[in-house]
Amino acid sequence: MKKPWYDYLWLVSALYLILGFFNILFAWLGMICFITPLVISATKGTKSYCNKYCGRGQLFLMLGKRFRLSRNRPMPRWMTSKWFRYGFLTFFMIMFAQMIFTTVLVFKDTRGLSETVKLLWIFKVPWKWAYRIRTVPEWISQFAFGFYSVMLTSTILGLIIMILFKPRSWCVYCPMGTMTHLLCQARLTKYEQN
Amino acid sequence: MAKRLARNNRAICVACGSCVKVCPRKAISIYRGIYACVDESKCIGCGLCVKECPASIIAIDKLEVGA
């Protein structure tokens, strides 16, 4: 049976991560992965982004299952609990807000551009080589560095979790997945009321 | 006679769709982006979804059918 086109979206995810090594401004493309699932869930009330189009999920599945990099063990119970899921979403959103705040400070000229990528919210890695187009306003580049940090950090976390547990373990507490899940629940409540 | 059936814990299912992809009988669907739903008439209890589920919340139940 021929694979549908969306089964190749892992290529897009991999390409995105590679592009960030060459030119940080490509990080802006990641907004597509943030906006699309939310729009789908808010308008259609489904998680078809997670179910079909998520390239990251496909990448983890391929690495874990086909390349046998995953130990394929069940996750600890506490990691599958709602508390952990919502807790991680909250933490992720706080970190995201902090990134936006830094961008605003650069926009206001209160602080200079930091040509670094922050991995796992702690480690500042110099990323100067990917800062190629210097003609754009600095806040645009600052957001790109910050956003790429978010994307790379979550990929690293997802990879660790993929190796330790099941290939798509990241999906259990993926902040985007939790948000779309909440949107679908809200839509269902509305649907049941009508 | 006992029929083997896949059952998931709907309360913690994140509706990621991993089980849907792996089911050879297309017996699983996602209900409104909230949880996975197993069609009991199609499920053969093969257990592929049990292995695939990242949250490990699917189990095979034995259901007594007929007399």
> What is the per-residue pLDDT for A104?
97
> What is the per-residue pLDDT for B41?
93
B12 vs A81: CB contact, 8 Å cut-off?
A: yes
Strand partners, B4: B62
A169 vs B54: CB contact, 8 Å cut-off?
A: yes
> What is the per-residue pLDDT for B66?
65
Instruction: Tell me if B6 sits within 8 A of B49, measured CB to CB.
Output: yes
> What is the per-residue pLDDT for A134?
87
pLDDT category of residue A4 using cuts at 50, 70 and 90: very high
A171 vs B18: CB contact, 8 Å cut-off?
A: yes
- Express each pLDDT in A142-181 by its tens digit: 999 999 999 999 999 999 999 999 999 999 999 999 999 9
> What is the per-residue pLDDT for B9?
94
B34 vs A75: CB contact, 8 Å cut-off?
A: no
* Sign of the four-CA dihedral A172, A173, A177, A179: positive
Q: Using a CB–CB cutoff of 8 Å, tell me whether B12 touches chain A.
A: yes
- Residue A145: which H helix or E strand, with range? helix A138-164
How distant is the Cα of A150 from the closest Cα of chain B, in angstroms? 21
pLDDT category of residue A194 using cuts at 50, 70 and 90: confident
Mean local confidence (pLDDT), A28-32:
96
Nearest to A172 among B30, B34, B54 (CB): B54
Instruction: Give the span between the Cα atoms of B27 and A78, in whole angstroms.
Output: 29
Mutation pick from B18, B22, B48, B49 vs chain A, by most beta carbons of A within 10 Å, is B18
B57 vs A80: CB contact, 8 Å cut-off?
A: yes
Please tell me which residue of chain A has the smallest CA distance to B13: A172
Q: Using a CB–CB cutoff of 8 Å, tell me whether A151 touches chain B.
A: no
User: ipTM value of the model?
Assistant: 0.90
Mean local confidence (pLDDT), A95-121:
94
Q: Classify A46 in phi/psi space as left (phi over 0), alpha (psi -120 to 50) or beta.
A: beta
Long-range Cβ pairs for the range A66-73 (8 Å, 24+): A69/A162, A69/A163, A70/A162, A70/A163, A70/A165, A70/A166, A70/A167, A71/A163, A71/A164, A71/A165, A72/A165, A72/A166, A72/A167, A72/B51, A73/A164, A73/A165, A73/A166
- Express each pLDDT in A45-103 by its tens digit: 999 999 999 999 999 999 999 999 999 999 999 999 999 999 999 999 999 999 999 99
pLDDT at B11 exceeding the cut of 70: yes
pLDDT at B67 exceeding the cut of 80: no
Instruction: Tell me if B16 sits within 8 A of B50, measured CB to CB.
Output: no
Between the alpha carbon of residue B62 and those of residues A149, B12, B40, B52, the distances in Å are 47, 22, 12, 20
B32 vs A52: CB contact, 8 Å cut-off?
A: no
Between chain A and chain B, how many beta carbons pairs sit less than 8 Å apart? 77
B16 vs A168: CB contact, 8 Å cut-off?
A: yes
- Express each pLDDT in B17-61 by its tens digit: 999 999 999 999 999 999 999 999 999 999 999 999 999 999 999
Q: Using a CB–CB cutoff of 8 Å, tell me whether A166 touches chain B.
A: yes
